[in-house]
Chain A
């Protein structure tokens, strides 16, 4: 089983600033990596797939990068609606999720 490790567990950032979230795989997942956003009481929403492709309707301030075992989700200028929990998910070998990063207002 591929273990996905996200860091940090909690990230405090001010609105308008940049946020950088990390996801590491225990073995290579190539570019088969997705990012989801989840707000309290809501289902996850797909943001990024194939490591760097934005899903339909996702604003350009969200960007993904990386391949192999190291991945990054960057939110260029945080809006109030971006404060949420973010999960990464690999789909190269079966399917597994990271434990999440909570992005909170500083």
Chain B
């Protein structure tokens, strides 16, 4: 059974860097074809894909946010970490990590974490 869970701060100040951790189980990020992505959703709004890391270390970022994002993996801990720099109140959202179960250049996500709400405010 695949599960994912996000963790990190619930409140960050403008200009700070956000660091979120996705801890997963039920699969290995060293297995060919596997990927873990991050998606966010501002309150009452649509989903927005942020980043994806593949089993081989390849990384893909949303073109509109690429300059602010970094995604890494720790296979030994079954974790994926997302950092986002220069946080702004418009970045207030629920942040989800998800298992890429449907293949494609990026693919689609078949299992999602519960999400973690991050508020950006001074």
Q: Are B114 and A89 in contact (CB under 8 A)?
A: no
Complex CA gap A100/B47 in Å reads: 9
Shortest C-beta distance, A2 to chain B (Å), equals: 11
**Chain B neighbourhood of A34, CB < 8 A:** 102, 108
Q: How large is the interface on A (under 10, 10 to 19, 20 to 34, 35 or more residues)?
A: 20 to 34
- Tell me the dominant secondary structure on chain A's binding face: loop
Flag B78-113 by CB within 8 Å of A: 1 or 0 each. 000000000000000000101001101111111111
Q: How many A-B residue pairs have CB under 8 A?
A: 63
| A96 contacts partner chain B, Cβ-Cβ < 8 Å | yes
Q: Is B63 an interface residue (CB 8 A)?
A: yes
Q: B63 to A94, Cβ gap below 8 A?
A: yes
Across the interface, A45 reaches (CB within 8 A) one of B49, B60, B101, B112, namely B112
Q: Which residue in chain B gives the minimum CB-CB distance to A35?
A: B108
Interface positions of A (Cβ within 8 A of B): 1, 32, 34, 36, 43-46, 49-50, 55-56, 87, 89, 91-100
| 4 further contact pairs, Cβ within 8 A, besides A43-B96, A44-B47 | A46-B110, A56-B110, A87-B47, A94-B49
